[in-house]
Amino acid sequence: MIRSELIQKIADENPHLYHRDVEAIVNTIFDEITAALAKGNRVELRGFGAFSVKERDSRTGRNPRTGEPVDVEEKRVPFFKTGKLLRDRLNGK
């Protein structure tokens, strides 16, 4: 499911809301999650999962085409850990 499909599904299930309002709500939720992660905070949605940021150290990688060493800078990457309810639902429990 992509963002536009999510917006459409929510709008279809809530006919009392305008499509543009649903779009604003979804965009606000994603923007707040992104802003919190950019600050290094953790975002937990009970039953769904938790988003956090992991630090990757700098390292020496390899260019897959030539095999020569390449310096890879340290970076921060998003990480998602599923919640227990989501895991149980996916596994049919």
Hey, what CATH topology would domain 42-92 get? HU Protein; Chain A (4.10.520)
The pair of three-digit structure tokens given for residue 30, joined into one six-digit string: 């994603």
pLDDT at 38: 95
Distance CA 93, CA 74 (A): 40
Q: What is the mean pLDDT of residues 42-69?
A: 95
pTM score, two decimals? 0.79
Of 52, 55, 34, 53, nearest in space to 44 by CA: 52
Domain boundaries, given as residue ranges, for the chain: 1-40, 42-92
For the chain, the residue count is 93
**Coil, strand, or helix at residue 86?**
helix
Of 37, 26, 38, nearest in space to 2 by CA: 26
Mean pLDDT of the chain: 95
Q: What is the mean pLDDT of residues 77-81?
A: 96
- Is the pLDDT assigned to residue 93 strictly greater than 90? no
Percent of the chain having pLDDT more than 90? Answer: 98
